[in-house]
Amino acid sequence: MPVRSDAHHFRKMVAGVCMVLAPLLLLVGAIVHPGFETDEAQMLASAAGSLDAWYLAEMFFLISIVLAVPATLGLMHMLRERHVAAGHVGGGLALVGLLAFTGVTAMQLVVWQMAQPQLERGQMVSLLQGVNDATGIFIPFYLCTFALALGYVVLAWGLAAARAISPVMAGCIGLGAVLLSVAFATAVMWLLMLAAAVLLVGVGSTGLMVLRETDADWEHTPQFRGFRAAPGTS
């Protein structure tokens, strides 16, 4: 029926666009960001030195996380007929990780406010140290960000095993997610940029493939045949 076809086409387009934009905005945010630090005083100094850049980068990260949700659901969709367990387990873990990254990003926006020049820096450093050292903050947010890496590794394995995408694309999805979690845990900016670039290659190229495939292929994911031409093109 036309309505059903339109709905399938819309979901395909949303998934494909989000697969491309989520890692792209993550990369832009990593480039704009003035730099993370593991020491609270240095982190506040970094934010205070570039307040606008800090805020803009965190907003890019936040939008990237929002777009990563339908992108992840799209990857799960591609496994719903083959390797269903990998799709559900990997997708579920990835969504938990995205929720944790949302919390971390929200706290980084709080850091932006704490770095405002009218606030007493010593008090803000002590407050930030207390927050970061709290087990109730560390476990549900910082530790759970690693669920994204684990989930994307499972999804990447499932997509490769199902031959839904190329092994290179699958490898980039898994490797990029692992690098992303490590980069945030160690506050290494060049590693964050590398992780975003690798994810752009893996998830972004998958998104381009989804955008170019037919609605029928989206509903019944075929084995990878390279980047097919869009319907009506030669």
Contacts 24+ apart (CB under 8 A), 157-162: 157/86, 157/90, 158/79, 158/83, 158/86, 158/87, 158/90, 159/75, 159/78, 159/79, 159/83, 159/206, 161/82, 161/83, 161/86, 162/78, 162/79, 162/82, 162/83, 162/221, 162/223
With a cut of 60, say whether residue 201 has pLDDT above it.
yes
Provide the residue type at 193 as one letter: M
Most confident of 17-31, 127-141, 210-224: 17-31
CA distances from 55 to 43, 97, 190 (A): 13, 22, 19
- Cα 125 to its chain centre, rounded Å, is 29
User: To 10 degrees, what angle do helices 189-199 and 2-32 make?
Assistant: 160
- Cβ atoms of 80 and 52 within 8 Å: the answer is no
What is the pLDDT confidence band of residue 5, given thresholds at 50, 70 and 90?
Answer: low
- Cα 82 to its chain centre, rounded Å, is 24
Q: Where are the domains of the chain?
A: 2-219
What is the pLDDT confidence band of residue 226, given thresholds at 50, 70 and 90?
Answer: low
- Cβ atoms of 62 and 24 within 8 Å: the answer is no
Percentage with pLDDT > 70 across the chain:
94
